[in-house]
Structure 1
Amino acid sequence: MKNMNDLGKQISGFEKQMPRGWVWDDSRAFLAVARHGTLSGAASELNLGIATLSRRIERLEKALKLPLFVRQQSGYQLTGEGADLVEKAEALEAAAVAFSSGASAQAQMVGKVRLATAENLATGLILPALPEFCKKHPDLTIELVTDITTINLHRRDADLAVRMVKPERGNVTLRRLGVLGYGLYSSSDYAAQRETDPNLGCYDTDAFITWSERQSHLPAAQWVERILQGREPVLTTTSLSAQVAATKAGLGLAVLPHFVAQNAGLICVASDIGVDQPIYLVIQSDLAQSRRTRAVADFLVDLVSRNRTRLSG
């Protein structure tokens, strides 16, 4: 098959000879008659009536202002002008077939879906469940993006996202799936050694692990900042996994999602600190009806629903 550049050149050449308003059905009729040499054979191929087919040929000739066939008793014979257009019409046919094949692939569960989400949801929730989804849809490729601070669905950086911040603008559709619960956690060794106060919620002598300045807008980081009241944290990090590791090492307290901290075997010092976040499924609106995007979305909705209690803590 000729490459797409060649097809494009041939299609462009054919379009230049076509008047405005021409339709592909007339070109198909032209090709079928050119190949069969008779109206009856072409009509049978296209599943059309002979009268309808004849009208399409006449309409095309009138639009082009060219005689495409010589009508003979034995059938239809191409004129010189008609013969010159056959190759260009075949290029259109090839492009139409390629377009149809692409649309068919879109309608099937084939291709790539780009999903953006937070690192903790990716590693602790989505990835463990993904093998079963991939078995069900072996021709789908999931591209998982966890650096969601730079992801913009309106810009088409991703097809859909699971995030804890509600989008305020953009051509997206969203659905609230549940709640991600947070608590204050420590290692068992730190919990055994820490000085407790009769007044619940007093952390004057505690060391804290928190987010770096770049993530200072996060609710967990803001909670720690309020508690510290100007004191310095013992450690700041740019990733949740580093905070979990530092907490396990006994460096101090950290505000962590319940399901992440519990998976790591950490001790809950305070279970409800008021920084729980809603979980939203956000889909690029133009892709909301795509079967492959919808399949991933349905998988995520079911996954969060099945883990609702675990996520909320």
Structure 2
Amino acid sequence: MDRLNLDDAPVFLAIARTGTLTAAAKQLGTGIATVSRKIERLEHTLGVPLFLRHQTGYKLTDEGQALLPRAEKLEEAAQSFRMNAAFEAEAIGHVRIATAENLANVLIIPSLGELMQSHPDLTVEVLTDITTSNLHRQDADLAVRMVRPDRGNLTVKKIGILGYGLYGSEAYLATRETVEANPISSDRFIGWAERQQMLPAAQWVERMLKGDAPSVATSSLLGQISAAKAGLGLAVLPHFLAVDAGLVPVSLDIGLDQPIWLVVHSDLVASRRIKIVADHLSAVIARNAGRLAGRELHS
């Protein structure tokens, strides 16, 4: 038996419903010769006549009548497939983003209004506790991270740079004592809690302290900023957060600038809703590139 061509099923249904080649061709938006060729091909493949040909039109044979319900189920499946494809094409559905709280609160969440306006049937969930958001477990659909994943079925793209500097309050800087050979040797530093010691900023402060204790330790960037504003010492902070908080730079380049990575599970890359959100996040980071890197803040 020749291989069945599923493109012939709609022709079969159109002739069965309209009764003529002319009406079927009009319904399908194609030529009469094409309709005739396809129905003959289908009959040849199945090895049975599906229609009785009369001058007044086409009438289903017993074999054609038996095939009709199956062809209708095939049509329903195709319509369902098209509806699902349209669902994706129109960016309908829910997307979960995992990211750092500082990026979420200052840049990403405030930008979602424009995304929702363009795609009103899209909903977004922003997860800032990234220690529990794992793309492999599908805790999130995509992530904006400062650390590049080195394993897993992930698509990773660098979308920006996050710049760090050393900052303090005006009140603290007005009272600090400096040594010309090492201006920060006598400074107090704001450290990180023990469970954040893997952070580059925490490790930088540890190196500066050389075994001494920090004046205060916190477990969040918000805590770091609050301690710096209170004059408790110097803190390593992203430029854009420090400047927004009114802090003063002591050193703009401390060698901690980090790439910003957009991470998507590879199985979701082709999804329209995921692509729409991923493109939006890339655009938000690109639009704020100078601010994130610190170029616009201290130029």
Work out whether the TM-score is over 0.5: yes
TM-superposed deviation, 1:150: 4.2
- Partners of 1:246 and 1:68 in 2: CA distance: 83
Give 1:211 deviation, angstroms.
Answer: 4.2
Deviations 1:99-131 (A, max 9, x none): 112212322343334333221111122222332
Work out the CA distance in 1 between the residues paired with 2:181 and 2:192.
23
Change (3 A) 1:210 1:20: farther
Alignment equivalent of 1:261, drawn from 237, 242, 252:
242
**SS class of match (1:141):** strand
SS in 2 for 1:273: coil
In structure 1, the residue matched to 2:92 is: 110
Ranges in structure 2 where 5+ consecutive residues have no aligned partner: 295-299
Q: State the shift of 1:237 in Å.
A: 3.7
Identity of paired residues, percent? 55
Aligned to 2:228: 247
Three-state SS of the structure 2 residue aligned to 1:149 is: coil
Instruction: Spell out the pairing of 1:110-189 with structure 2 (5 A cutoff).
Output: 110-153=92-135, 157-189=139-171
Pairwise CA distance, 1:248: 3.0
Counterpart of 1:88, as a letter, is R
Contact 2:190–2:235 (Cα < 8 Å) also in 1: yes
Shift of 1:257: 0.7
Specify whether residues 274 and 100 from structure 1 end up closer, same or farther in structure 2 by C-alpha distance, changes over 3 A only.
same
| CA RMSD after TM alignment | 3.0
Give the letter for the 2:184 counterpart.
C
For residue 206 of structure 1, give the secondary structure of its aligned residue in structure 2. coil
SS at 1:132 equivalent = helix
In structure 2, the residue corresponding to 1:129 is in which secondary structure?
helix
Contact persistence 1:179–1:276 (CA under 8 A)? yes
Give the direction of change, closer, same or farther, for the CA distance of 1:201–1:147 in structure 2 (3 Å limit). Answer: farther
Segments of 5+ residues of structure 1 without an aligned counterpart are 1-18
In the alignment, residue 236 of structure 2 is paired with which amino acid? V
Which SS does the other structure have where 2:158 is aligned? strand
One-letter identity of the residue aligned with 1:273? I
Which moves more between the two structures, 288-297 or 44-53?
Answer: 288-297
Where does 1:69-84 land on structure 2 (aligned, <5 Å)? 69-84=51-66
Correspondence for 1:218 among 199, 203, 206: 199
Distance 2:138 2:93 in 1: 16
Does the 8 A contact of 1:111 with 1:139 survive in 2? yes
Indicate if the aligned counterparts of 2:169 and 2:228 stay in contact, CA closer than 8 A: yes
- TM-score normalized by structure 2? 0.82
> Could you say which residue in structure 2 is the equivalent of 1:48?
30
- Greater CA drift, 36-45 or 240-249: 240-249
Deviation at 1:277, TM superposition (A): 1.0
Check conservation: 1:209, 1:252, Cα contact below 8 A: no
Q: Is the 8 A contact 1:187 1:249 kept in 2?
A: yes
What is the Cα deviation at residue 35 of structure 1? 0.8
Return the offset for 1:219: 0.9
Task: Give 1:218 deviation, angstroms.
Answer: 1.7
So what's the TM-score if we normalise by structure 1?
A: 0.78
Deviation of 1:193 after TM superposition, in Å, equals 4.4
Contact 2:191–2:206 under 8 Å retained in 1: no
